[in-house]
Structure formats: structure tokens, C-alpha cells
Amino acid sequence: MTPIEPTTTPSAPNRRVFLKSSAIAGGALLIPATLAGTASAAAVPQFAHGVASGDPLPDGVLLWTRVTPTPESTPGSGAGPTVEVRWEVATDAGFASVVSSGAVTTGPDRDHTIKVAAAGLAPATAYYFRFTLDGVRSGTGRTRTAPAVNADVSKLRLGLVSCSNWQAGYFSAYRHLAARSDLDGVLHVGDYLYEYQAGGYGARGVTIRPHVPANEMLTLSDYRRRHAQYKTDPDLQALHAAQPWFITWDDHEYANDTWSGGAENHQPGEGDWSARKAAARQAYFEWMPVRQGAGGEIYRRFRWGRLAELSLLDLRSYRSKQTTPSSGDPGDPNRTITGDPQMAWLKSGLSGTDAKWKLVGNSVMITPISLGTVESKFLESLGSLLGLPIGSVAANADAWDGYTADRQELLGHLRDNRVKNTVFLTGDIHSSWGAEVPIDRSSYWWNGNSVATEFVTTSVTSDNIDDLLKVAPRTLSVAAEAALHVGNLHVRYVELDSHGYSVVDVNPQRVQTDWYYVADRLSPTSTASHAKSLATADGTQKVKTVSGPVA
């Protein structure tokens, strides 16, 4: 494997994000800024959580920051004044050509966060943005708009990440993505943050950096403070400042194994679930550069010219409770993972678009998986990652395997309408997978037919199989991977141990995914190495190994 170091080539300064250190509140905080002018030390307390952008459209993009106008205006405090913050968008990093600007007020009612829908921008264009409060400027962010709806586009390249647990290590994966000059954006498919108490979920049971607040997130103040903590991470700030993000949630933005009426990690004595859910949602929409639908929905769709359309799913808000060996049939048609309105929206979008590639931002795995041939010593650890109750090895109960009627409906729709080039981009299970997606696993043994493909990125930091077993990586897990291949012929790649990120490259001929693994999640300066590349060619619904990563 070839080591990948953060690039610092001076030939592309408009793409690069630099980090400037400054002390704040007794700790070191790194603020992202561009070469064209870093934030002054005086700006650090007021813009301590960086800048971000997301949900790019052909004529606009969301811009985000958070201000701390006074010492008492700390995240989650509910205190502090209402203030007016100015924002600017320019075509150059020096802001000589400002093309859009304005002012917005914020205060304790929205935790002093700011989210601006900058409009009237040109398609397929790079922009720079910043905020100003009382004459003090934030760091500078770089973003870009999507191409025009009917534009002929030759490329889309996205970073793909999931499962970034603060307590389990450092976000070096974000640093490596922020250093790349070739991305059009970042796709985060869930578990952006974790709800557990300090020490509740670390690295092999060891807490590397404790959560704030120290308790499990339950209240609006808790969720706000945890979002704020994550956004002090220098590598996360750098990646937010470098690229627009496409983001959806999974369960830990609420609580582990969330379903519409509760969660595995919502216990008696922790209050009303609906109040906790409302608090989690409010903090999320305050702190994340994502658009919220008129009905409060987060599932939404983005187009990249005629090349690709990306559908981002919400697989937590509407789902039925997960099954156990004694509590229901995964194939019960009354059970759902999407809810009826979202399923109708997804099916109509996949069969109705004229885009070449149909990408699906999918928080939990859709590929059917059997664990029947895996040795028993691995089952409990695999079950922990896959959401399986101990003793059940037939299905990934927290993913689409636990909702097979919905999966059959969706995949049957692709088959019946001859929809080609659907690619699911997934996270959640702290491991790497590349698979052909059949209507059902048993039929694939006989005919090899598949109706889609799926690429699953590993965790940024969250525990993988070797961590759960507390063994050296690439030792015992190798046997489990071999057993998974035997029982699942449609799985073309599985790696259960490593942490890192993926890069997804789309062109008219194929979609390729490259996996990169960090050397040590416990090191804030970890290197990363390319490990595997797979591609699906236009019209095939098949996955093949390719020789190396995209240039």
C-alpha cells in the first residue's frame, strides 16, 4: 500500500486549507483559513467552531457558522445577546469580487448558530465565504455550486465518510480529505457524532478524548454542547471549510439503534423519547449545514448535471422497531425502514430521472448478508456492529436485512422498471464492503443477477471487529472475512478491521470507490494508505477490482 500524506503543494493555493493555532478556554483550537488571509487571534473566541457549507444547488449553497458574542454565550447555555452577523460570498479568496452578501441575526434561541441560503450564484463555480461580527472576521471557507441541471458533466468526485466517534481517536481521515485538491464535495452518511457519556464508548474500551458534556446526551443543551465539541476538532473544521458537504443522519445523532418510537439506548428513567428526539433534531438542524424540508424531513435529492443524481435517505425517523429472534418477522409487509412517503419518493426518483448514475446516500447496508458460516467466536462482535441480537445470525436486523419487504419493494422496482446504474453509498457498520445487490441472496447463487451495487465506507474512528475482539488487526478477522465470502457470493470485498475514508469517483463510464485506511486512529498526525479500489461499469450492476486509485 502506498502511504498518502497531506498535500502541501503551493501550486494550488485556492484549494488548500491551512490551520492556525490559538489558545481558547484553556485548550488549543485550530481555526481553518485560506491562504488569502487567516482569522486574527481576536476572532477565535467569536468564531470558535469554524465555518461550513452544504447542500449545493446550481444557483446556491448553504453557509454555516456559530458565533460566541460574549463569554456567557457558550453552546447550550441559552444565554447571551441577539446579534447581527454579516456574510459575504466572493469568487476570489481575497474578496475583491464579492457577488453576494447580507446580514442575519442570531441568538440563544438557536444557540447562536447561523445558516444562510446564499442564492443567485453561477452553476459549477467555486466560491469563498466568510462571516463578520463587530468587525471581527471568521476564517474563510471554500465551496462550490452544482452544475446546471442539464449540463454535460464529465466527473463527480466525493469523499465518503461515516462513524466519527470523538472518544475513539482523532479525525485524521478528515485531514487527508481536506488536503485533496480534486474533490467536489463530501458525503457523510451518518453517525457524525455519538450520544454516549464520557468513557461510554471509546477505543477498545479506552477513552482517548472524553465527551462533553460528561453525561449521555438527553436534553437540548446536551445535544448542542456535543455538537459544539465535535466542531472544535481541527481536522473536522478543515474539511468543512474546504468542501461543501452532503449529510444525512443515522442513529447516534439521536441514540443507538433509533427507530420511530424509541431507541435501544433510550432507557427507562431517561425521560420522554419524543422530547429527546425533538431536542436531537433541533440541535442537528441548528449545527449542521443541511436543508430541512417543509414537513421537517431530511431526505432530499441533488443533481450533478446529467451525470448523477444523489438521493439522501432518512432511515431512522419512520422505521418500525428492530426485530429480535422472538419479536417479529423481518419480512412482515407491515414493517418499514423508510415509511411509505419516503419509499414512494425514492422509487419515483430512481425510475424517473434521466441522470446516468443514481447514487443513494444510504445510512445502513442494503446488501443481504448471511452470517451462517462465520465461526461462533466472531458472531457476538459482528452482531454488535450489524445490530444483531445475540443468537440471531441470519440477518442484519438494524439494516435493510431487518426490513426485507421494503427492500424487496425497492429492488423489485429497479428490476421491473429496468433501472440501471443505481449505486448505494453506505456507512454504519465500521467496516468496508463492496457488493452486487441481488433481489435476494439465494437467487444470486443460481443466476448471478443483481439490480444495483453498494460501496460501504469504514469508520473514521469507531471500533471495528479487531477492536471489539481486542486482537491485532488482520489476524482473526481474516478468517471471518473468508467465511463471509463463502456464504455471500455477491460480496466482492469485505475488510473488517481498518479505519479511514473512501473516495467515490463518477464518470459516464463507471463509478469507482477507493478505500484509504489510516495507520493509527490514536495519532492526531496519522498517515493514510490506499488499500482497495472497486468499480461498477455503466449498465452492468457488477463490481470489479481495479488496479489503483483515481488520479
pLDDT, tens only, 134-163 = 999 999 999 999 999 999 999 999 999 999
Spatial CA neighbour of 416 closest among 499, 347, 366:
347
Would you say 468 and 437 are in contact if contact means Cβ atoms under 8 Å apart? no
> Angle 221-222-228 (CA atoms, 0-180°, nearest 5)?
90
What is the C-alpha separation between 540 and 544, in angstroms, rounded? 10
Residue 318 DSSP code = S
Domains with residue ranges and CATH for the chain: 50-144 (2.60.40.380), 156-545 (3.60.21.70)
Q: Give a three-class secondary structure readout of 233-273.
A: CHHHHHHHHHCEEEECCCCCCCCCCEECCEECCCCCCCCCH
* Structure confidence at residue 324 as a pLDDT band (50, 70, 90): confident
- From the CA atom positions of the chain, what is the Rg in Å? 22
End-to-end Cα distance, the chain: 15
- pLDDT at 124 (0 to 100): 98
Residue 376's pLDDT is 57
**Quick one: pLDDT at residue 30?**
33
Q: Residue 348: CA atoms inside 13 Å, Cβ hemisphere, count?
A: 8
Helix (H, G, I), strand (E, B) or coil at 141: strand
Q: What is the pLDDT of residue 446?
A: 74
Residue 16: the pLDDT is 28
Comparing 42-51, 120-129, 327-336, 531-540, the range with the smallest average pLDDT is 42-51
* Amino acid occupying residue 166: W
- Give the orientation angle of helix 220-230 with respect to helix 273-287, to 10 degrees: 30
Pairing outcome for strands 422-426 and 3-4: unpaired
Categorize the per-residue pLDDT at 336 as very low, low, confident or very high, splitting at 50, 70 and 90: very high
Q: How confident is the model at residue 378 (pLDDT cuts 50, 70, 90)?
A: low
**Residue 372 · residue 324 · CB < 8 Å:** no
The answer, yes or no, to whether residue 4 has pLDDT greater than 70, is no
Instruction: Enter the C-alpha cell of residue 317.
Output: 425517523
Place of cell 422530547: 275
pLDDT class of 372 with cuts at 50, 70, 90: confident
The DSSP symbol for 346 reads H
Q: State the Cα–Cα distance between residues 334 and 48, nearest whole angstrom.
A: 47
Residues 229-281: tens digit of each pLDDT: 999 999 999 999 999 999 999 999 999 999 999 999 999 999 999 999 999 99
Question: CB count, 10 Å around CB of 327?
Answer: 10
pLDDT value at 31 more than 70 = no
**What one-character DSSP code corresponds to residue 400?**
G
Dump pLDDT digits (tens) for 507-532: 999 999 999 999 999 999 999 999 99
By mean pLDDT, which of 13-17, 108-112, 361-365, 535-539 is the weakest? 13-17
Cis peptide before 45 (omega within 30 of 0): no
Output 38 or 384, whichever has higher pLDDT.
384
Q: Between 163 and 40, name the one with better pLDDT.
A: 163
pLDDT at 384 over 80: no
Burial of residue 353 (CB within 10 Å: 0-12, 13-18, 19+) is middle
The average confidence (pLDDT) of the chain is 89
Q: What is the C-alpha separation between 49 and 114, in angstroms, rounded?
A: 11
d(CA 53, CA 293): 17
For residue 379, what pLDDT band results from cuts at 50, 70 and 90?
low
**Is the distance from CB of 337 to CB of 403 less than 8 angstroms?**
yes
Question: Does the pLDDT of residue 388 top 60, yes or no?
Answer: no
Q: How far is CA 201 from CA 227, 463, 483, in A?
A: 17, 9, 28
- Does the structure show a pLDDT above 60 at 544? yes
% the chain with pLDDT above 90: 81
Q: Over the stretch 431-480, which tens digit does the pLDDT of each residue have?
A: 999 999 998 777 787 788 999 999 999 999 999 999 998 999 999 899 88
How far is 511 from 508, CA to CA, in rounded Å? 8
| Cα distance between residue 39 and residue 325, in whole Å | 56
Q: 340-352 vs 404-416: helix axis angle to the nearest 10?
A: 20
Give the closest residue to 325 by CA, choosing from 246, 397, 429: 397
